[in-house]
Amino acid sequence: MAGPSSYAELAAELASRPGQTNLRSTLIRWLLITVSLVFLGALLAAPLFAVFATALSKGWQAYFQSFVDPDTQAAIRLTLITAAVVVPLNTVFGITAAWCIAKFEFRGKSILITLIDLPLAVSPIVSGLIYVLLFGLNGWFGAWLQEHEISIVYALPGIILATMFVTFPYVARELIPLMQQLGNDEEEAAITLGAGGWFTFFRVTLPRIRWGLVYGVILCNARAMGEFGAVSVVSGNIRGLTTTMPLHIEILYNEYNFVGAFAVASLLSMLAVVTLIIKTLVERSGYRRR
Amino acid sequence: MKGPRREPNVIPGFGITLGFTTFFLCAIVLIPLAALVLKAGGMEWERFVGVITSPRALASYRLSFGASLLAASMNMIFGFAIAWTLVRYDFPGRKIIDALIDMPFALPTAVSGIALTAVFAGNGWIGQYLEPLGIQVAYTWIGITVALTLIGMPFVVRTVQPAIQEVQRDLEDAAETLGAGRFYVFRRIIVPTVLPALLTGFTLAFARAVGEYGSVIFIAGNMPMKTEITPLLIYIKLEEFDYVGAAALGVVMLSISFAMLLAINLLQVWGRKRMMVSR
């Protein structure tokens, strides 16, 4: 077999060996990186920058002026109240559901898991619609509610219910696989040694699931504060009363108050960025989604 | 693993946690969904069929399904390229891009809706270059597809990423050593390993896109028969106090959700089986 006759040929032969980089693989590599960056730039980065650019298009003063509007302040307040009710409730639910599913064996468990995940598959509009059909004037409980002068739809309770529905699985679906993987051994040891149920949960279980819990809670919170479709259906869009931040964005936008709309949007974008930062930090701590 | 006979469980709280979980699930999810189905079930059959097959409803299905299929396909192609780039290549800013992928999960849909409209409108950053080429994005089906592509993108990237990590590089190298071309390796080694994840991601993105509302309505134009998606039609029926009509269309959407859920579960079972065989 004739060997390579010159250094140039030797170099060419080395480059064509598997695992080596050659011109073609470098080209493919840069082509893929460019395609990915252009795609993400147009779809993710440009809109995100556009939010801040439009919000600040008339200067900082106009930007801050948008938050003086009492209706905007009411919308921010309503969003905070909704999240303050929904996130803790869904967190308690998530922990409870994960405890019963991960720690015990029982029939119908896989059906239960599927049903908990169900809201993720349902359209936001349908998520709002079901509460209107239940509590609206022509709904199942509509007449009774009207008799007792309780309003659920077009009021805060409806907004909270619809938000709870769409964020229902967020904490549970993070904790269930995590706790299933961690197993029961340490809890069993604690109980056998005489620890009570609550003590075992707070001292043994909670420290081991804390990153998964943080992960689920921040995603639940982001969705709760940002939900649009479901809340839009049940809220009735009464300005300054039943408009959350996303709904208020729609109102301002339809009034061509772009600085106002994008100023509120910039707050929610900052929330999204903070959520992603916390999420990345949690992943750095070694937590891996299952 | 479940043994043939289980040790008695010493951990407390089974009854109360199961009770609370079931109660909460029924109150928030199951009873309201049942109300929808019963409301639509109370209609006469002819009226139900009349509502869900009206020309306006049919046009909205065509748009919702067409745009969602197109968006999910775009995501399959670009999502694979992005996932591949993030797993295989190292370049400056890779970690930031990786974190940014989840943006559509964290960003409220109304925000992405108005932001996309601002960027793709005729005077927007990108729209101004597309308009002279005769491509109008905002207020057409193209804009709807763009919005649906954005919200579906992380589903594909996040399901395909771990699958690409599973591709055995020594297998690729071995194939190349034996003289296989790059394309052959891609077709015979990479695609079979990644395919179940790619299809799962496609279905997840499609399922999310069909029901999406917030990011679409700002960029859609919302013209009946032309740029009106099915969720918007339900919303309009509600505003007209046509609760029964809204419920009927809601049941159609819900059935699609169940079908998608079933498809996703079957795909995951299939993918797990393939993984088992290849090991």
CB atoms within 10 A of CB B248: 25
| Confidence check: pLDDT of B2 > 50 | no
**Closest residue, chain B, to A194 (C-alpha):** B10
Q: Is B231 helix (H, G, I), strand (E, B) or coil?
A: helix
The letter for the amino acid at A285 is S
- Other C-beta atoms closer than 10 Å to the C-beta of A73 total 13
pLDDT of B14 > 80? The answer is yes
Residue B116 has pLDDT above 80, yes or no: yes
Closest-CA residue to B202 (of B67, B63, B64, B76): B76
CA distance A287 to A283: 5
Q: How far is CA A170 from the centre of its chain?
A: 7
C-alpha to C-alpha distance for B182 and A29, rounded to whole angstroms: 13
Chain B residue with minimum CA distance to A282: B99
Chain A residue closest in CA terms to B115: A47
How many CB pairs below 8 A link A and B? 278
CA distance A98 to chain B (A): 9
Residues of A in contact with B124 (CB under 8 A): 50
What gap in Å lies between CA B237 and CA B253, rounded to an integer? 14
Structure token digits, residue A101: 């599913």
Output the pLDDT for position A2: 47
Q: Where are the domains of chain B?
A: 54-278
Tell the residue number behind the tokens 């108050």, with chain if given.
A257
pLDDT > 90 in chain A, percent = 75
pLDDT of residue A19: 54
A287 touches B at CB < 8 Å: no
Residues of chain B neighbouring A14 (CB-CB closer than 8 A) = none
pLDDT of residue B65: 95
The whole-angstrom separation of Cα A57 and Cα A257 is 12
Closest-CA residue in chain A for B8? A104
| Residue carrying structure tokens 């009927």 | B248
Share of chain B above pLDDT 90, in %: 67
The pLDDT value given to residue B218: 95
Rounded CA-CA distance A213/B131 in Å is 47
- Which 3-state string (H, E, C) describes chain A? CCCCCCHHHHHHHHHHCCCCCCHHHHHHHHHHHHHHHHHHHHHHHHHHHHHHHHHCCCHHHHHHHCCCCHHHHHHHHHHHHHHHHHHHHHHHHHHHHHHHHHHCCCCCHHHHHHHHHHHHHCCHHHHHHHHHHHHCCCCCCHHHHHHCCCCCCCCHHHHHHHHHHHHCCHHHHHHHHHHHHHCCHHHHHHHHCCCCHHHHHHHHHHHHHHHHHHHHHHHHHHHHHHCCHHHHHHHCCCCCCCCCHHHHHHHHHHCCCHHHHHHHHHHHHHHHHHHHHHHHHHHHCCCCCC
Q: What per-residue confidence (pLDDT) applies to B184? A: 83
d(CA A136, CA A146): 9
CA-nearest residue to A283 within chain B is B99
Contacts of A93 in chain B (CB under 8 A): 20-21, 24
Interface of A with B in 156-185 (CB under 8 A): 161, 164-165, 168, 184
pLDDT of residue B181: 78
Number of residues that make up chain B: 279
Interface confidence (ipTM) of the complex: 0.90
CB contact residues (below 8 A), chain A span 58-77, against chain B: none
Task: Count Cα neighbours of B257 within 13 Å in the Cβ-side half-sphere.
Answer: 24
Max alpha carbon distance in chain B (Å)?
73
Q: From A248, A98, A246, A238, select the one nearest A163 (Cα to Cα).
A: A246
- Rounded mean pLDDT, B106-134: 94
Six token digits for residue A44: 């993710």
B75 to chain A, closest Cα gap in Å? 10
Closest CA to B21 of A140, A168, A280: A168
CA max distance for chain A:
99
Angle between helices A124-135 and B230-239 (to 10 degrees): 20
| Residue B197 DSSP SS3 | helix
User: Chain B: nearest CA to A121, how far in angstroms?
Assistant: 6
Q: Domain B54-278: give its CATH code.
A: 1.10.3720.10
Do the beta carbons of residue A250 and residue A205 sit within 8 Å? Answer: no
Give me the residue from A105, A112, A228 closest to B108, CB to CB: A228
pLDDT at position B172, please? Answer: 82
- Distance, in Å, from the CA atom of B218 to the CA atom of A243, rounded to the nearest integer, reads 17
Q: Is A151 on the interface with B (CB under 8 A)?
A: no
Which of A28, A44, A181 is best to mutate for the B interface (most B CBs within 10 A)? A44
What are the pLDDT tens digits along chain A (290 aa)? 445 556 667 666 655 555 556 787 888 889 999 999 999 999 999 999 999 999 999 999 999 999 999 999 999 999 999 999 999 999 999 999 999 999 999 999 989 999 999 999 999 999 999 999 999 887 788 888 888 888 888 999 999 999 999 999 999 999 999 999 998 999 999 999 988 889 999 999 999 999 999 999 999 999 999 999 999 999 988 888 899 999 999 999 999 999 999 999 999 999 999 999 999 999 888 787 76
Query: B192: distance to nearest CA of chain A, Å?
Result: 20
What is the pLDDT, as a whole number, of residue A240?
85
Select the residue of A123, A133, A227 nearest B257 (Cβ to Cβ): A123
- Alpha-carbon distance of B228 to B220, in angstroms, equals 7
- Taking an 8 Å cut-off on Cβ atoms, the answer to whether A51 and B153 are in contact is no
| SS3 track for B145-186 | HHHHHHHHHHHHHHHHHHHHHHCCHHHHHHHHHCCCCHHHHH
Residue type, A124: P
Tell me the chain B residues in contact with residue A279 when contact means C-beta distances shorter than 8 Å. 99, 102, 106
Residue B144 confidence class, pLDDT cut points 50, 70, 90: very high
Per the CB < 8 Å rule, is A50 touching B119?
Answer: yes
Chain B residues within an 8 Å CB radius of A232: 213-214, 235
Contact B184, B175 (CB under 8 A): yes
Cα separation, A225 vs A85, in Å, equals 11
Mean pLDDT of chain B: 90
Please determine, for residue B240, whether its predicted confidence score (pLDDT) is greater than 50.
Answer: yes
| Contact between A112 and B21 using a beta-carbon 8 Å cutoff | yes
Which residues of chain A does B109 touch, with a Cβ-Cβ cutoff of 8 Å? 124, 226, 228-229, 246
Of B146, B238, B257, which has the smallest distance from its Cβ to A233's Cβ? B238
What residues of chain A lie within 8 A of the CB of B172, using their CB? 18
Residue B223 in this model has a pLDDT that exceeds 70: yes
Tell me the angle at which helices A46-55 and A258-284 cross, rounded to the nearest 10 degrees.
130
> Which of chain A's residues have a Cβ under 8 Å away from the Cβ of B243?
132-133, 136, 138-139
| Among chain B residues, CA nearest to A161 | B28
Which residue is closest to A33 within chain B, CA to CA?
A: B85
Residues of B in contact with A104 (CB under 8 A): 9, 11, 14, 18
Are B257 and B207 in contact by the 8 Å Cβ rule? The answer is yes
Q: A27, A130, A176: best mutation site toward chain B, by most B Cβ within 10 Å? A: A130
Question: Residue B118 is nearest to which of A54, A118, A161, comparing CB atoms?
Answer: A54
**Banded pLDDT at B149 (limits 50, 70, 90):** very high
Residue B39 dihedral angles phi and psi, to the nearest 5°: -60, -45
Report d(CA A101, CA A117) in Å as an integer: 13
pLDDT higher than 50, residue B11: yes
Q: Give residue-wise pLDDT tens across range B54-98.
A: 999 999 999 999 999 999 999 999 999 999 999 999 888 899 999
Question: For B1-12, what is the mean pLDDT?
Answer: 61
Buried b or exposed e, range A201-239, using 16+ CB within 10 angstroms: beebbeeebebbbbbbbbbbbbbbbbbbbbbbbbbbbee
Above pLDDT 70, what percent of chain A?
Answer: 92
Q: What is the pLDDT of residue A37?
A: 94
Query: Does B111 contact A269 at a Cβ distance shorter than 8 Å?
Result: yes
